Structure 1
Amino acid sequence: MKNRFLHIFFLIFATTLFAQTSDSLTVKKDERVIVVNDSLLPQEEYNPLAPAKAAFYSAVVPGLGQVYNKRYWKIPIIYAGMAAGVYFYKQQDDDYTRFRDAYKRRLAGYTDDEFQGVSTDRLINAQKTAQKNKSYSVIVTVVFYLLNVVDANVDAHLRQYEVSEDLSLQPNFDYNQFNAAPQYGMSLTYRFK
């Protein structure tokens, strides 16, 4: 009985020993790396001082902030707006001077001014109107100058955000087969790449 027990024990022990041996078959692990090109445009490095720098440049020389932001097409608009304000200021100033000189000559007793058919009260009103229009012209010039600075600052802020060209708004035309009438609409399309 002891022998049988010993044989069974040896048989179980030997089986477990042979079961522990390794196979001669080796498995090679082949890893492949897939590289996907990013479809996004390369992003410029973030510069937190760019908006302040663009606003400063536009404050020193109008339009220089737009040059810094590479928005050259805005420069003629800025200078046209400021030039229009200066032009109308000069024109209203000349008119004011003419009305004032004619009024002063009338107060001095002369009647040979260029506004002979106009009453003295109308000359006073014309002076007030010319003065008011001069003020409006100054306001227009200052507003274009300030818009120049604000535009440079905001544009520099927005340049640091990625804006994709994949978003489009297109008109849509469709024909309704049930009532034989055309249908018009707008479609907003976003393309995934």
Structure 2
Amino acid sequence: MKSIIYIAFFIFFSSFNIYAQKDSITANTKQLQLKPADYNPLSPSKAAFYSAIFPGAGQIYNNRYWWQLPLIYGGLGISIYSYIDSSNDYDRYRTAFKRRKAGLPDEFTVDGTPIISDAGLESAQRQLSKNRDLSLLSAILVYVLQIVEASVRAHLLQFDTNENLSISPMTIPDYDLVEAPKVGVTLKYSF
């Protein structure tokens, strides 16, 4: 069975024609010399360091902050607010549960009648604990992602993006098979 698979792969891959192309980029090499001032290998690490010290500072270093800073601070602000709110509510329900177990009145008891049952207090504590943990996780995630984004953006800003770089699709007919012409697609890139 394995030999049939090997033979099928050999026949499949050996049926392709391989064409060589001429080197057309030797004429334009003088125009594309990269100047040492254009490439700064420490730029990505600086951007990541600045973002680690102060969230959003790497985006400011990269001059890409007009739409990213509101997202970063919005994500961090919402996560921190949700963490604090869930933590305070958890403490309220936890205190009420402890007071009720000790036989003392709590804030969820009106005229000796509990508004929320003991099972409801336990359920609320579990849910608020999960919400608090997820809020902390989302704040850490936003913090780490903004560091990674600043570093990646600093890497990408150093690429040459002039107008001479292009990708243009073109079709090349296969003239070896005259009775059944086939057309292939090639992506030609020029520098």
Q: TM-score, normalised by structure 1?
A: 0.62
SS in structure 2 of the partner of residue 72 of structure 1: coil
Is 1:90 aligned to residue 84 of structure 2? yes
Distance 1:138 1:104 in 2: 25
Shift of 1:164: 4.7
Partner of 2:42: 49
**CA–CA distance in 1 between the matches of 2:59 and 2:106?**
53
After superposition, residues 38-187 of structure 1 pair within 5 angstroms as: 45-73=38-66, 74-114=68-108, 116-164=114-162
Give the unaligned 5+ runs of structure 2: 1-30, 167-189
Q: Distance in 1 between matches of 2:162 and 2:82?
A: 42
Shift of 1:162: 2.1
Work out whether residues 108 and 116 of structure 2, in 8 Å CA contact, stay in contact via their aligned partners in 1: no
Higher-Rg structure is 1
CA distance in 1: counterparts of 2:142 and 2:79, whole angstroms: 9
Q: Which runs of 5+ in 1 are unaligned?
A: 1-37, 168-191
What are the residue-to-residue correspondences of 1:22-41 with 2, within 5 Å? none
CA 1:112–1:138 in 2, change beyond 3 Å: closer, same or farther? closer
SS at match of 2:115: coil
Contact map agreement 1:105 1:113 (CA 8 A) in 2: no
- Are 1:86 and 1:138, in contact at CA under 8 Å, matched by a contact in 2? yes
User: Aligned in 2, Cα 1:48/1:61: closer, same or farther, shift over 3 Å?
Assistant: same
Alignment RMSD: 3.0
Paired letter, 2:122: I
Structure 1 letter corresponding to 2:65: Y
